[in-house]
Structure 1
Amino acid sequence: MGSIEPYETKAGKRYRIRWRTPEHKDRNKRGFTTKRDAERALRKVEGSKDDGQYIDPSSAIATISDLGASWLAGQSHLKPSSLAPVEIAWRVHVEPVWGTQSVGSVRHSAVQKWVTELSERRGATTVLRAHGVLAGILETAVKDRRLASNPARGVNLPRKTKKPRRYLTHERVERLAEQSGNKATLVRFLCYTGLRWGEAVALQVGDLDMLRRRVRVERNAVRVNGYIVPGTPKSHEARSVPFPAFLVDELAAQCEGRERGDLLFGNGQTWVVTPSTRDGWFVGAKRRASESDADFPNVTIHDLRHTAASLAISAGANVKAVQRMLGHASAAMTLDTYADLFDDDLDAVASALNDARLSATVSKSVSKSDF
């Protein structure tokens, strides 16, 4: 059990409480103006020890910087492309503001103020990522019994707005490919297989199965801090993706003179880098292919993946097949992502209900007329 002892100050009598931690370390807290307040505080301490919820006040003096480094080291499970923006958020937005503060001094209201002010200068994605870093560090402090609760949880966060997806028709895909020079096959391939850019440029000649018209997706090459870093696909799982017959001859031409381990696109040895959004080959191809300003408005490389989903669905592919083609974790994810492409299905449901009602009411009328 702890103890309470009085002591004298210039302002009068005060009380100090003493106790031992579960690790048998001596702790004390002073400054209580009444014995009742000291007794209440001591009961709370002893009760938290009995409940297994005890927080040692000395452990809360660790700073955000102290814990931030170890927290970042614990994120090694992330892919390099995911880890890089987290490290930037820590270095640019979190550490400069919170680094010197102890975890025990962080208040919910202060976190809310920081999020609000950051939202005035930065987009929702940046704000959410920065908040996620701070919240993650404080969550570790909670698990380490440095804090009773996480003050970064429950703050009002900005909402991300979905960027509009743009889908190309078969005709526009062909016009774009024709104006893409030696990237024509790559453009068609992206538009009819739905591979991510990094998955496509990481393909090797040996990944192609020409007889079955399938390509095995096992790698993903992404640009991180100016360097191409190969890794696994986004889902961490390999998949087999079909490609249409009209691509066979073009892909065969890509393979000529190359070994099975050579890259399929580019010169076979070096990665094809993502084109510049200002003056790269993709921008030039869009400009040359446009017959009007509305032909390729803000179409991105990733929109070619969306185009593949659109063309597959319009051709009658079922959701499960599209899910497997795109490498989504579930069919539900595919439906959520491309719900706008299934509007015709909603019309079909309404038509089917209408036909069913007509059939039922006509049958009822015929039955009554028999009597």
Structure 2
Amino acid sequence: MPSIKQRDDGVWRARYRDATGREHARHFKLKRDAQRWLEEVSASVVTGQYVDPRAGRVTFREYAEGWRASQVHRKQTADSYESRLRRHVYPVIGSMPLASIRPSTIQGLVKRMSTEGDGRAALAPSTVELTYKVVSTIFKAAVRDKRLSESPCIDVRLPKAGKTRATPLTLEQVATLRDTVPDELRALIVLVAGTGLRPGEALGVTRDRVRLLGRNPAVTVDRQLVTRAKGTAEFGPLKTEASDRVVPLPRVVVAALNEHIAAHEIADDGLLFTYRGQPITRPRFWHLFAEAREAAGLTEATGTGLHALRHYYASLLIRFGESVKTVQARLGHASATETLDTYSHLWPDSDDRTRDAVDSVLLADSADSLRTTRHKASGNT
């Protein structure tokens, strides 16, 4: 039973025992404060929100590592979570007990990630947001596990990311990329420009996933090449279920791939693109692509990697009148919203269509009226 007793020094001692029989006690100067505390504890027990005060003594790192070990994540996701926590979160709050972390602590973590200091570069707003979501998810799990009564991830302000509109490459830039990369990668440039595959998808294409003969040549996208933390590469699942798709191959891509396959010995199930016989990891590609990227004048607006060619492919589809759903399907986007968020500015807007519709009718009518007026005028002379 809970109890309150005044000590000889005038301090009030409130105590209770939890379901395991363990005693908990706190001391107050005023009896009413001690009573209020016991009432709050009793209410939390009745509502199922009771949390053992000792449960929050575990450090954030210790709890987070246990949480990570119990999750069913894809390898790529697991690697990403481990890296974000190790690099950006543990140095700040890793050694702190869960119960000691306040909303202001989390806001400070976000501020630190968002600004430069101590030799650190500020992280992009999108990186800060994703890292914060991992932290927030861990604290939600801690609440479910009765380690905490509530999460400190409350009303935390995140940096706002400015909307960046993809600027498509020009044909000249695409040609420069193709002609400047190492010979082993020239067909890769044509493939991505002509299909819009993601970098990992393109680097993971094997010969048995490509159909070059017949009336409907295509590439099957059902996996991607994933770069692991130690710089190794292996096949992994695609980004989303919608990414699993079959993309038609234009004739220019078929010709480039046929020439590439004829010039290199590629097994039936071998990767189409390797460098010196090894799979191309992202760091290796970044190095191989550096000279071509500079020569073509790629920028943050166009994209500085293979994604620049993915944007180029999307812009071609839109220019030739393909619908949002078609562009979504070709790019493997999870939703039409994702497609529009990235490329809506490339579609003709409603103002343009309105002008064209009115002009097509009224300009023609004006021309007819002018011809009629001229005809009458010539008849009266």
Aligned to 2:24: 28
Aligned to 1:92: 87
The one-letter code matched in structure 1 to 2:139 is L
Aligned to 2:267: 259
Aligned to 1:199: 201
Following TM superposition, by how much is the alpha carbon of 1:255 offset from its aligned partner in structure 2, in angstroms? 3.3
Aligned to 1:283: 290
| 1:199 aligned counterpart, secondary structure | helix
Q: How does 1:37-56 map to 2 (within 5 A)?
A: 37-56=33-52
Q: Which segment is superposed worse, 257-266 or 100-109?
A: 257-266
Following TM superposition, by how much is the alpha carbon of 1:206 offset from its aligned partner in structure 2, in angstroms? 1.1
CA distance, structure 2, for counterparts of residue 179 and residue 304 of structure 1: 15
Q: TM-score, normalised by structure 1?
A: 0.83
Asked whether the equivalents of residues 166 and 302 of structure 2 are also in contact (C-alpha less than 8 Å), the reply is no
Asked whether the equivalents of residues 194 and 253 of structure 2 are also in contact (C-alpha less than 8 Å), the reply is no
1:69 and 2:49 correspond: no
The one-letter code matched in structure 2 to 1:283 is A
The one-letter code matched in structure 2 to 1:191 is A
- Spell out, residue by residue over 1:139-164, the C-alpha distance to the aligned partner (whole angstroms, 9 max, x if none): 21111122121112321111233445
Determine which of 301, 305, 314 is the counterpart of 1:309: 314
Q: Which segment is superposed worse, 266-275 or 214-223?
A: 266-275
Aligned to 2:342: 337
CA distance, structure 1, for counterparts of residue 294 and residue 127 of structure 2: 31
Q: How does 1:141-180 map to 2 (within 5 A)?
A: 141-180=142-181
| Cα distance change of structure 1 residues 101 and 167 upon mapping to structure 2, 3 Å threshold | same
CA distance, structure 2, for counterparts of residue 94 and residue 273 of structure 1: 27
Q: How does 1:171-190 map to 2 (within 5 A)?
A: 171-182=172-183, 183-190=185-192
Q: Which segment is superposed worse, 268-277 or 59-68?
A: 268-277
- Spell out, residue by residue over 1:204-241, the C-alpha distance to the aligned partner (whole angstroms, 9 max, x if none): 11111222111101111132322213202211452100
The one-letter code matched in structure 2 to 1:27 is E
Following TM superposition, by how much is the alpha carbon of 1:37 offset from its aligned partner in structure 2, in angstroms? 2.6
The one-letter code matched in structure 2 to 1:196 is R
Following TM superposition, by how much is the alpha carbon of 1:275 offset from its aligned partner in structure 2, in angstroms? 6.8
Q: Which segment is superposed worse, 50-59 or 301-310?
A: 50-59
Asked whether the equivalents of residues 86 and 129 of structure 1 are also in contact (C-alpha less than 8 Å), the reply is no
Aligned to 1:102: 97
Aligned to 1:250: 256
CA distance, structure 2, for counterparts of residue 168 and residue 251 of structure 1: 22
CA distance, structure 2, for counterparts of residue 285 and residue 60 of structure 1: 53
1:218 and 2:222 correspond: yes
- Spell out, residue by residue over 1:78-108, the C-alpha distance to the aligned partner (whole angstroms, 9 max, x if none): 442x433422222233222222222111111
CA distance, structure 1, for counterparts of residue 78 and residue 339 of structure 2: 25
CA RMSD in angstroms, aligned pairs only? 3.1
The one-letter code matched in structure 2 to 1:190 is V
CA distance, structure 2, for counterparts of residue 174 and residue 13 of structure 1: 82
The one-letter code matched in structure 1 to 2:55 is S
Following TM superposition, by how much is the alpha carbon of 1:69 offset from its aligned partner in structure 2, in angstroms? 0.9
Asked whether the equivalents of residues 166 and 343 of structure 2 are also in contact (C-alpha less than 8 Å), the reply is no
Aligned to 1:328: 333
| Cα distance change of structure 1 residues 297 and 309 upon mapping to structure 2, 3 Å threshold | closer
Q: Can you give the 5+ residue segments of structure 1 that lack an aligned partner in the other structure?
A: 363-371
Asked whether the equivalents of residues 193 and 241 of structure 1 are also in contact (C-alpha less than 8 Å), the reply is yes
Asked whether the equivalents of residues 108 and 155 of structure 1 are also in contact (C-alpha less than 8 Å), the reply is yes
- Spell out, residue by residue over 1:327-346, the C-alpha distance to the aligned partner (whole angstroms, 9 max, x if none): 1001221111111111x143
| Cα distance change of structure 1 residues 190 and 111 upon mapping to structure 2, 3 Å threshold | same
Q: Which segment is superposed worse, 160-169 or 147-156?
A: 160-169
Aligned to 2:246: 240
The one-letter code matched in structure 2 to 1:230 is F
CA distance, structure 2, for counterparts of residue 268 and residue 304 of structure 1: 24
